[in-house]
Amino acid sequence: MLNSLASAAWRYRYFILASIQGDFRSRVARSRLGFLWIILVPLAQVAIYAFILSALMTQRLPGIDNRFAYSLYLLAGFSGWFLFLEVINRCVTIFLDNAEALKKIAFPRIVLPIIVVGSSVINNLVFFGLVVLAYVLLGHDPLPAIAWYPLLTLITAAGAAGLGLSLGVLNVFMRDVGQIVGIALQFGFWMTPIVYMVDILPESVRPILMLNPMYWVLDSYHRTFLYGLPPQPLALLGLSVLAVGLLALALMLFRRASAEMVDVL
């Protein structure tokens, strides 16, 4: 089964590449600033948090000797969170967005998530390029971040794709799922240490936060980007297993639902 999926994806490799390109193009198709928006939108968000919250987060990060420690922290966290967010959001609506094509052309559907994940990763790569640039400008060593970025991206994207596609299948039949995901992601953002440090929270709350897998994803980004340390091995293992499990769940749901999916699109 995995074999046939892989061979279908391989046969469509040119199409996948062309579509990722086209995806990029369509995002910039009808706007003046085009490509700039891909960078400006996430940067604006980071800048807002940097301005507003830097007053609250005056304490220096332990072990980091840099005036811009909080900005460095934000950039590391958002590198992971933006990837997670984009993959989830696009996977949840993937079948609805492509309804017309699904109804009219018979093609291996596996290419759709590959295109979505591929183009999300490219967008994230652009953002990461800016992070590296900022680190250099702010006087922080970007090499550990560069070294660990590929592995962290792989695990984050795989987990997000597994979760997003499972929800995407359900969203075809119950459109409420898409709305619920939007709200859940808002909660998720504040339940994950992205704009705040864990140590500002009371000790009693921290174990609850640790139940959130995204806590460990963000922890890995912080450890590598900021401190130059490897991620915690147990966290890495757990996240990998979770990602594979979510992908398997998505595949199972998709296979069972695909016969009825086009009927309700």
Partner 1 sequence: MTAPVLTVSGVGKAFRRYKREMHRILSLCGISMAPSEERWVLRDINFAVEPGQAVGIVGRNGAGKSTLLKLITGTMRQTTGTIAVNGRISAILELGMGFNMEFTGRQNAFQAAGMMGFNQSEIEGVIAEIEDFAELGDYFEQPIRVYSSGMQVRLAFAVATAFRPEVLIVDEALSVGDAYFQYKCFDRIRSFRKQGTTLILVSHDKAALQSICDRAILLEAGKVAKDGSPEEVLDYYNALIAAKEGEEIETIAHPSGRVQTISGDRRARIESVALYDSNGTAVETVAVGKPVELRVTARAHADLEKLVLGFALKDRLGQTMFGTNTFFADQSIDDVTEGETFSFGFRFDANLGPGNYSVSLALSGGESHLVDNYEWRDLAMIFTVVNLGEPFDGKTYIPTTVDVVRGADKAIST
Of 203 and 263, which CB lies nearer to partner 1 in the complex structure? 263
Task: Give the nearest distance from C-beta 101 to partner 1 in angstroms.
Answer: 4
Task: Give the nearest distance from C-beta 258 to partner 1 in angstroms.
Answer: 7
Q: How far is C-alpha 54 from the geometric centre of its chain's CA atoms?
A: 24
Q: What is the rounded CA–CA span in Å between residue 145 and residue 124? A: 14
Task: Give the nearest distance from C-beta 166 to partner 1 in angstroms.
Answer: 10
Of 72 and 102, which CB lies nearer to partner 1 in the complex structure? 102
Instruction: Please identify which residue in the block is written with the tokens 């293992």.
Output: 237
Q: What is the rounded CA–CA span in Å between residue 68 and residue 55? A: 12
DSSP secondary structure string for all residues of 104-170: H----TTHHHHHHHHHHHHHHHHHHHHHHHHHHHTT---HHHHHHHHHHHHHHHHHHHHHHHHHHHH
Rg (CA), the chain: 19
Task: Give the nearest distance from C-beta 246 to partner 1 in angstroms.
Answer: 15
The DSSP output letter for 230 is P
Task: Give the nearest distance from C-beta 108 to partner 1 in angstroms.
Answer: 9
Q: What is the rounded CA–CA span in Å between residue 4 and residue 258? A: 16
Amino acid at 251: L
Of 100 and 203, which CB lies nearer to partner 1 in the complex structure? 100
Binding positions for partner 1, rule: CB under 8 A: 11-12, 14-15, 18-19, 22, 25-26, 29-30, 98, 100-107, 169-170, 173-174, 253, 256-260, 262-263
Q: What is the rounded CA–CA span in Å between residue 56 and residue 182? A: 27
Of 160 and 169, which CB lies nearer to partner 1 in the complex structure? 169
Tokens found for residue 75? 């950039």
| Contact present, 168 and 188 (Cβ < 8 Å) | no
Task: Give the nearest distance from C-beta 100 to partner 1 in angstroms.
Answer: 4
Task: Give the nearest distance from C-beta 245 to partner 1 in angstroms.
Answer: 15
Of 71 and 171, which CB lies nearer to partner 1 in the complex structure? 171
> SS3 for 196?
coil
